[in-house]
Structure 1
């Protein structure tokens, strides 16, 4: 059964532990707890589905600082707050969190926030590995490469080989993926640079084919 992967960014140890217990009672898997914004940015591999973030972290990097970075990586997030200050709430609202959870935590509020997150997550991909079935958030895929009747699915930390045609997985992926070559699909959110012959993604260079020029122009025009 698929469990969405959640990170908790909360500087109060007991609050984070309590929240983890509440989250784990539902169909979610807490894959990381960070007690400062700095630790999160330093240590995360971004291979999670959503985040629960305290607005007022006791560090230079606050929840308000993390919100735009989470949005940049296509990660929905929930803000934790014990503060009712109108200006703070206005600043938080501008970052479009999926929901809010007030302190002290109540299970009904946590449950409601998780339900909202669940509806914002893209449909996951089912991957068969030597260790069994895994589920991947499409947003975590950097690119997909075709090799005959097999494909290689690359994330920032892993790659998976599946017996499947590229056109088959193309139909399963969201619109942020671009066909740039007969053998490559790329996740547009990871594109760093481009030239006439290739795209640069995180640590990878992907060739560009003339026949898919329209797809690339669509991406460039959206920037």
Structure 2
């Protein structure tokens, strides 16, 4: 069975958001959720990553839609379709800097929205097929690791890796300066990293324990990134921390 395209709806008008969700579900999309604030959308996109995000530009709260997209794309390159009732040129130019897939004007017509989503899903599939065709290469050498990223061999110092996050059959390797999407599972990636430094703390996260800033009861923090800590991994983490 073909996997459904997963869509996150970020819209502070719940009537509009619920209608979009209902219509998309009817025609075969999987809606991962509806968020009304940018802060919640950032968290949602990291814990339950969608394939495409529908983003209202004029969100209420601390983060507007454009700033929310910037924060999301700092970690994951997820295609974004902006929904907007604001047609001024300055807003459009600022939104363009985040490299969205499309803009859909309000009032929304489902025909325009579903066409944009279908095109975004097609581009996403092509990108995934390209990544699958390119065998991922990961090699460890003393204090550094070499990975094949976008057709090039990249050297990363182990000390610069903050954490690795699972994304289905891929994983995101996060450093202070850049993020890398690798066509390998988190389990396989963990096996390639030294277990004296990199420890599993959750089914979706492996962390560099030398980078931990906070160890809480149910979470850890690295550079203000809150990472869940599962009870089943907590004892193993504490044991490793005692050895460094």
- With the shorter chain as reference, the TM-score category is 0.5 to 0.7
Match of 2:7 in 1: 6
Match of 2:60 in 1: 58
Match of 1:79 among 79, 82, 106: 82
2:139 is aligned with 1:180: yes
> Could you say what the CA RMSD is over the residues aligned between the two structures, in angstroms?
3.6
For 1:2 and 1:120, how far apart are their aligned partners in 2? 15
Aligned length: 160
Kept in 2: contact 1:76–1:120 (CA 8 A): no
Secondary structure class of the residue paired with 1:60: coil
For 2:131 and 2:97, how far apart are their aligned partners in 1? 32
2:90 is aligned with 1:90: no
| 1:154-190 alpha-carbon deviations (Å, 9 max, x no partner) | xxxxxxxxxxxxxxxxx96265944225xx997969x
For 2:66 and 2:37, how far apart are their aligned partners in 1? 13
Kept in 1: contact 2:38–2:61 (CA 8 A): yes
Consecutive unaligned residues of structure 2, counting only runs of 5 or more, are 166-189, 195-244
TM-superposed deviation, 1:66: 1.9
1:122-161 map, 5 Å: 122=125
Identify the structure with bigger relative contact order (alpha carbons < 8 Å, sequence gap 6+). 1
Match of 2:104 among 81, 98, 101: 101
Q: Normalising to structure 1: TM-score of the pair?
A: 0.59
Match of 2:24 in 1: 23
| 1:94-142 alpha-carbon deviations (Å, 9 max, x no partner) | 2111111111111111122112211221359xxxxxxxxxxxx79xxxx
2:37 is aligned with 1:41: no
For 1:174 and 1:74, how far apart are their aligned partners in 2? 19
Match of 2:157 in 1: 194
| 1:49-78 alpha-carbon deviations (Å, 9 max, x no partner) | 110000010111111112223333020010
Match of 2:174 in 1: none
Kept in 2: contact 1:23–1:110 (CA 8 A): no
